[in-house]
Every structure is written in C-alpha cells, then in structure tokens.
Structure 1
Amino acid sequence: MIDPVALARDLIRVPSVTPDTGAAQAVLADALENAGFRVWRHLEGEAPDGPVANLFARKGEGGPHLAFAGHTDVVPPGAEDGWSAPPFEARVENGILIGRGANDMKTAIAAFAAAASAADTGDGSLSFVITGDEEGPATFGTKALLSWMEAEKQIPDHCLVGEPTSRERFGDMVKIGRRGSVNIWIEVNGAQGHVAYPHMADNPITHLVEILSRLKARVLDEGNEWFQPSNLEVTDLEVGNPAHNVIPAQARARLNIRFNDGHRGADLAAWVEETAKEVTAKANVTPIISGEAFFTGPGAFADLIAASIEAETGRAPELSTSGGTSDARFIRSYCPVIEFGLVGKTMHKFDELTTVADIEALARVYRRIIEGYFASPPA
C-alpha cells in the first residue's frame, strides 16, 4: 500500500513548475506501477507552451471505469525568503506539510494513489489522468491527453478531480460545476496629435473609456439556483504614452468575464465586439475562451462523494459551482466530472501547506468513494 504523506513529499521535492516535463510524473509512475497499474507517458508540444508531460495509468480492463484527474505542475514559488521552509523541501513540522504543491495539488494525487493501492475495485477499472500543464496555458495538457484516451477507447464513465475544493474545513465543499471564462483584448486606434488641437486628432482613450463604461453598465444576469451572477472585470489598461502634451494613437484594455450556464463564451465575445464597434469602427476585439460553464449537478455520483465525506468527517459538504476554472472544463465533454480535495486557503501563496491529518483523511475519503463506486456504480 502507498503511504500518501511519503508520496506527497516525494512529489513536492520535484520542482515541477509549469510546464512539468516529466520528473514528477516519473515518481508517480513508479508508485503506480508497483501498485499494479499499467502506465502510459506522453511528452506533448514544443516551446513556448511545451513540452508538457502527461500520464495515463489504468488498473483493470472491465467496467465501470472511474478516473481521477490532477496535475503535477505547480506555480513558481516566488522569492524563497518569503517561505518559512524551502518551497521544495517538503518539510513536515508539528503535523504540517509545507511546500509548493502541498495544497494544489500533489497531495491529492498522492492521497488517491494511496486509496487506489488499497481499495477493492472488483471487476471494474480505475485510472489516473495526470497533466503537467494545468497551471499554464493548457495547450498540450489534459485536452491532448483526453484526445489520446478517446482514440485508445480509454474514456472513463465518471471522473473525480482532486483540486483543493474545501473552503474552511476539510470536506466542507464539493464542486459539481464551474463557471466559464473568456479573456478579451480590446485595441482602439485613433489619430495622434497635439493636445492643444484635439480637432486635428482622434483620442482612442476617449473611445476606449466609453466602450468599457457601456460594458460595465450591463448586468449580465442575477445568477440562478446553482450559479452566482456572471461578472465582467477590466484587468488591464495600457496606453504607454510618455508625453503629457500628445494625444496617443492607440489604447488597449483587457477584460475577463466569468459566466454561468446562462451564457456561452462566443455569445459574450460577440456582444463585446458589437459594443466596441458601436462606439468606434477603429476598435479591434480578440477573445480567447478558456472554458465554457458546465454543471454536473446533484445525483448518484455527487451523493456517493458527499456520503463518503460525511462518513469520514461527520459534516455534509456544500455542493457548489463557485471559484475559478480547472481542467474539469475539458473532462466535462467526455463524462460526468466532480471535484473534491483539500482546503485551498494557501494555494499559490508563500508557505503553501496542509496538515498530515488532512492528507490521511483525504486518502480515506477517496478509498470510500472508490469502493462505493464499484459496489454500486452510479448511473
């Protein structure tokens, strides 16, 4: 049986800042092969977004097929003097594990590996879907691995993602959906000129401010039973004009819209472009849709996960769609997907941490989920 804390520490000691090119996954592959899994490893893409290491591992050939999805890449640790312990040392003190990836999400991978090494799966199949590019552009990560899985007829019936979904206490929240996300760049061209002669110029800043004002004035929706209201946030403004007496020739802005299942990314991008063109024909709009909103919803799979958490912790988790995006946005096109993991309060921060007790509890919850799944497969 795999020790979840020992494996988590081994994974954290590999500084696999996005994109992970395979060293961390080699550690995982050894553990899974020793636990009876067949492992496939892939290196996808080229710079600047690659190469990216992806790993698929499966134990069993029959159905039903439950998958666990996660990522071995981590965000940069930042200045080392911001940490109370070296970020890749994986130090344990007073029952607390400190290190980059201790929260998001090498510990969850280790916990599921431990659960998988001990659980009874009957005649079913258990698999791991692991990428090295969740924290980055995701160009060659989970999407590429899912395409390979589809071609190889390895698509699971259900998938559990190990993102740190708990909010305040371990087990208090499960994600059964996510809002979508679209980033949009607006570039407005004008005509440069002297500020004393505005009639001889065309100030792009004036147009850009008007565009942004119109966009912010719209209430996208009021939310619904399962989703919070959609929101548009301006995330950058750029002119780059060093002179106080010159009207610039160009102004740019970037915005992000987090939207619920009442919208689609393409429709929101079209609305932004239409609004910009109403103000000036010299506006150019470039959208990139990171992911559409999705909703797995309550049901047998969610009930199994919630019951497993409550049996271990004594608390019934909240079913939620709050927070940012994850690679579940890609998996949802192939099978029902739900997310559950540790408390996420320290992810991406200095002194990212979790407790040893929570890692061990997560492994026990995951084992309950696995054995409950194969004992009574959800429809």
Structure 2
Amino acid sequence: MTSRASAVLELTRELIRRASVTPEDAGCLDLIEHRLRAVGMRVERRRVGEVDNLFARHGESGPHLMLLGHTDVVPPGPLEEWTSPPFEPTERNGCLFGRGAADMKSSVAAFVVALEHYLHEQPDHSGIVSLLLTSDEEGPAEHGVRVMVPWLQDQGLLPDACLIGEPSSLETLGDNVRIGRRGSIQAILSVRGRQGHTAYADPADNPAHRAGPLLAALGQLDFEDGDAHFPPTRLQISNVQAGTGAENVTPGELKVLFNLRNNPNSPADVLEARLRALIEANDPGPWTLDWRVSGVPFGPATGRLPAVVDAVCRSQLGRAPVQDTGGGTSDGRFLGPLGIPCVELGPVNRTIHRIDECIGLDELERLPGLYHGIIAGYLSGSEEG
C-alpha cells in the first residue's frame, strides 16, 4: 500500500471513530486543523450556534479552487441492525464500514491527504487552494456553509470554482459527476373544514372530501421544463394528515405536505404562482399554503473545472464520467447560484444513509490521487497536473 493510500485509510478511520451526528463535529475539525496547519495552510474556525466550521487556504492570488465537504453524518439508526458498530471502522470483504464511510468522511480525508501531498510538492504554487468544512450539512444547514458564504464574500475569498466531495459515483468511482443540482421546495397546504360526528356531519364540511380533486391534480402535474442538463421539475406528495384518530369523527383540517425538485427553467416564484392558481381552481374551501425554498437550482457548471475533472478521471480511472444534475441537494446550493461553477466527485453512493454504510478500499485508495490531480490541473492552468 502506498503512503498516500495508507494515510487516507488511517485518517478516514480516525474520522469515523468520532460520532459526529449533526450538528456535532466530535473533534473531527481539531484533527484536520492540526494537519493543515502543519503544511502551511492558514486556518480559521467559526462556530455559529452549535455548528463548527473551518476554512483553510494556501496561496495569495490567482485562480481560487475551493474544496468543500462536511464532517457531520446522519444518525446510525438501530445499532443492533449493524453488522459491526457504526462508529468502529471495520474492514471486511474489501470494504471499510462505518457511518460516514461514503458520505463523506472518506472524501474529507482524501481532501486533506491530497492537500498535504500537493503542498509538500508545490509550496510555491500559483493560485489559491482552500478547504471549507462544516458540521451542518446533513441537518438544517442553517449555520454551516449558508453563513460561511457571506463571510467569505465579505473577506473577498469567494472561490472561482468549487470541487465538492459528495458521493456522486453510481457503480464505480468516477463513473458519474454532478455539474449542478435541482432546487428543493417544501410546501404545506392546510385546508380547513368543520369537525363533526360521522353520522351527522355534512360532507361539504369535510376537508378530506373537498380536497380530493386537488390531491389528484397535484399528483398529475407535468411541468415539461426539462432540458439537456436537467430533468423536468417533479412534485411528490410526502404526507397527508387529517382527523383525530377516532373512527367516528370527521377532520377539522387536512394537511398535505409536498416537495418540488425544480430545475432552473422553473423558478420558485413561478411555481408558487402556478400552485396557488391550481388550488384556487379546485376550490377545496378555506386554505393556506406555507412555501419554503430550501435550495435554489444551480448549474450546469462551465469553465475549467469540469474539463479538469473530466481529464483527471480519464487519465487515472480510464473513463470519462457522465455529467448529470441528479440526486438531492448539497452545500453547492449556497455557491452555485452565485455563478461559481461547482462539480461534485466522490465515492459510490449505493450505501449512503443506510445500515452498514461502506466504501470500497480500492475506491478510498484512489480518491486522494483524483483530488491531487484536480488541484494541480486547475491551479497550473493545464487540464491535468
């Protein structure tokens, strides 16, 4: 095993051992800060509420490439269902198991190892390379990158491009990269009625009856706004809530929770106007709509970074990655809408958020080299460093 491969394995294991369930960092950033300072990076720590954030940079001027990731993980779920404890990194069958193994402590470790090697080899490199880490990606995402971006803007430190270590690969490392993301909108529709005894209530007072045609209309919406880079906007109903739980009482209120994943061709305000018109047209009775935009669509990434990522994957992995905009949301939503090209490249995402989350040891071994090549290629001005 090469020194780079052994280094990324050991650091990934050390990070997995820290039970950093959102918003806890559990000492991950302390470990990383020590290593980054040792190779000459300037490190700033900002704690906002319960969230820990770290920004490290090296270089003074020129093109600025930022690496972006998070140290927090989702809860492990029922511990008895794990084959090995979620916060005890375990190797078996050619994989490393543990919560965060794929999402995304392996990528964070690979970022650190790649930076260590690059700065050892190129201490006088051109441009700026930075690393932004937060412990608030898997949760509300209110006090992590969301607040760090305005701070970076005030400091004049917004990057020219951003490489995100989210697990983008589908079957094998580097077969897929994200060059943008759809937005995410959460809506809660409340329809009022009149609670009553099922034997005597007027059906016209029952919001579940009145909202039936509207629910069908929501489920049949077709936005027809897809393009070469983004699939069409989609609406999915996630919860329908009504009633007291009693069999002989009609509901006084019906709540419908639905989520929209929108592409740049359908801005949130346009969608809200369309949904309000649809509700009015179906006349469900007295209603209110709570509309919350949690992520703005961004991309597709253009410029040097996508070309560098493509060239490095071709050179090191022997394949050109498919570029897409699928998946959920990432912290790129706070940078991409500012016009900053964001590309996501990371491990296979098959086991993320699942029991027995894992990463292939061969994937883990290759990650630092990929990130090293992208850093070198972007800062040197060539397609591959």
Q: Quick one: distance in 2 between partners of 1:84 and 1:200?
A: 52
Is 1:287 equivalent to 2:291 in the alignment? yes
Deviations 1:31-90 (A, max 9, x none): 211222111111112xxxxx1111101112222111000000000011112111111111
1:48 alignment partner in structure 2: none
TM-score by length of 1: 0.94
* RMSD of Structure 2 on Structure 1 (CA): 1.8
Match of 2:355 among 347, 350, 366: 350
- Cα distance per residue 1:183-207 (max 9 Å; x no partner): 1001111112233334386111122
Partner of 2:255: 252
Q: Distance in 1 between matches of 2:79 and 2:26?
A: 24
Q: Which residue of 2 aligns with 1:118?
A: 117
Paired residues, number:
373
Which of 313, 327, 330 aligns to 1:309? It is 313
CA distance in 1, matches of 2:13, 2:296: 34
- How many Å separate the matches in 1 of 2:46 and 2:30? 11
Tell me how far 1:211 sits from its aligned partner. Answer: 1.9
How far apart are residue 324 of structure 1 and its match?
0.8
Among candidates 14, 17, 22, match of residue 18 of structure 2: 14
Give matches, 1:1-379, under 5 Å: 3-21=7-25, 23-45=27-49, 51-119=50-118, 120=122, 122-199=125-202, 202-221=205-224, 223-278=226-281, 279-334=283-338, 335-376=340-381
Specify whether residues 92 and 200 from structure 1 end up closer, same or farther in structure 2 by C-alpha distance, changes over 3 A only: closer
SS of residue matched to 1:333:
helix
Partner Cα separation in structure 2 for residue 242 and residue 358 of structure 1: 50
Gap regions ≥5 residues in structure 1: 46-50
Alpha-carbon deviation of 1:299?
4.1
In 2 relative to 1, CA 26–191 (structure 1 residues): closer, same or farther, beyond 3 Å?
same
Conserved? CA contact 1:108–1:341, under 8 Å? yes
SS of the residue corresponding to residue 7 of structure 1 reads helix
Contact kept, 8 Å, 1:64 with 1:377, in 2: the verdict is: no
Q: Following the alignment from structure 1 to structure 2, what is the Cα–Cα distance between the partners of residues 177 and 222?
A: 16
Q: CA deviation at 1:123?
A: 2.5
Structure 2: 5+ residue runs without aligned partners? none
Query: Per-residue displacement from partner, 1:230-249 (whole Å, max 9, x unpaired)?
Result: 21110001113223232221
**Aligned-pair identity (%):** 38
**TM norm structure 2:** 0.92
SS of aligned partner of 1:39:
strand
Residues 22, 132 of structure 1: 8 Å contact kept: no
Aligned counterparts of 1:166 and 1:355: Cα–Cα separation in 2:
12
Separation in 1, partners of 2:259, 2:203: 34
Do 2:76 and 2:99's aligned partners in 1 also have CA atoms closer than 8 Å? Answer: yes
- Give the CA deviation at 1:94: 4.7
Residues 179, 344 of structure 2: 8 Å contact kept: yes
Amino acid paired to 2:64: H
CA distance in 1, matches of 2:356, 2:35: 27
CA offsets per residue over residues 277-322 of structure 1, 9 Å max, x none? 3313511100111112111335432111011011111011101111
Q: Distance in 2 between matches of 1:25 and 1:34?
A: 14
- Cα deviation for residue 357 of structure 1 reads 1.8
* SS of equivalent to 1:304: helix
Which amino acid in 1 is paired with 2:92? E
- Provide closer, same or farther for how the CA distance between residues 201 and 29 of structure 1 changes in structure 2, counting only shifts above 3 A: same
Q: Distance in 2 between matches of 1:75 and 1:200?
A: 44
Distance 2:20 2:41 in 1: 23
CA gap of 1:377–1:290, structure 2 versus 1, over 3 A, is farther
CA distance in 2, matches of 1:364, 1:109: 13
